[in-house]
Amino acid sequence: MLYTFLDFAGTFAFAISGLRMAAHKEFDWFGAFVVGLVTAVGGGTIRDLCLGMTPFWMTNIDYFIITLSAFVFVLVARKVLLKPAVVTFFIFDTIGLGFFLVVGYQKTIDAGYSHAMAIVMGTITGAAGGVIRDVLLAQIPLIFRQQIYAMACVFGGVLYSICLRCGIPLTITQIIAASGVIAVRLIAERYKIGLPRFKGFEVGDNDPQRTIKKKK
């Protein structure tokens, strides 16, 4: 019950995130729906394909229905939406992130892969949907230049791994890991903490894969 609620709340919040960005780029209804859907299920799809499994949404139409609900919600509510609702989305989005990390981690472990790979797959589950969303919007993925987002997943995954090795029961481990993700995300948001910008050396004349000068 709780599991299902968290799954649906996270999916709903992720879909909202995709729908809102699509609206900014003047997408039509179909385009907005696709971007919302892909934001919600994209991370889990990459995970399942890498694990050699059938993408989870292919045997369960619920994720389409949730995205459709988010679609209708945004259409109907946009005139009357108040600040508290925006805060609620942020909370949902953050809870969804924590939940997706746990789902991705556990599914990878169950498939027989290492804990290190479970951290990777948990992070992909949480963060890759937003990357695909931004690729479809033809913009550089936000999570590559923005506040802590994917790193919160990595942190939660490390917590998960430590708890399991310490023999902590699975349910408690999962609560700790998800809480870790949520805590890091909230703290980073509150205090505007971000990762440092990555600076490379200058590209010389012999750059192996050099950038074409753009003609203006």
Measured between alpha carbons, how far is 198 from 151 in angstroms, rounded to an integer? Answer: 15
Question: Binding-site residue total for a second copy (CB under 8 A)?
Answer: 82
Dist. CA 151–CA 149, nearest whole Å: 5
Q: Would you count residue 196 as binding a second copy (CB under 8 A)?
A: yes
CA 204 to chain centre: 36
Q: How far is the CB of 189 from a second copy (least distance, A)?
A: 8
Q: With respect to a second copy, which residue has the nearer C-beta, 81 or 170?
A: 81
Residues numbered 97 to 136 that lie near a second copy (CB under 8 A) are 113-114, 116-117, 120, 130-131, 135-136
Among 139, 170, 179, 193, binds a second copy (CB under 8 A): 139
Report the nearest approach of a second copy to the CB of residue 117 (Å): 6
Q: How far is the CB of 125 from a second copy (least distance, A)?
A: 14
> How is residue 142 written in tokens?
């936000």
| 3-class DSSP string for 111-168 | CCCCHHHHHHHHHHHHHHHHHHHHHHCCCCCHHHCCECCHHHHHHHHHHHHHHHHCCC
Residues 143-182 that bind a second copy (CB under 8 A): 143-146, 149-151
Which residue's entry shows tokens 């490390």? 158
Tokens representing residue 114 in the block: 């290492």
Pull the structure tokens for residue 172: 């408690």
CA distance 146 to 125: 18
Taking CB under 8 A as the rule, does residue 20 contact a second copy? Answer: yes
210 binds a second copy (CB under 8 A): yes
C-alpha span between 144 and 128 (Å, rounded): 11
Q: In angstroms, give the least distance from the CB of 192 to a second copy.
A: 12
Q: Does 31 bind a second copy (CB under 8 A)?
A: yes
Find the shortest distance in angstroms from Cβ 43 to a second copy.
Answer: 13
Question: Considering only residues 61, 166, 190, 216, which one is a binding residue for a second copy as defined by CB under 8 A?
Answer: 61
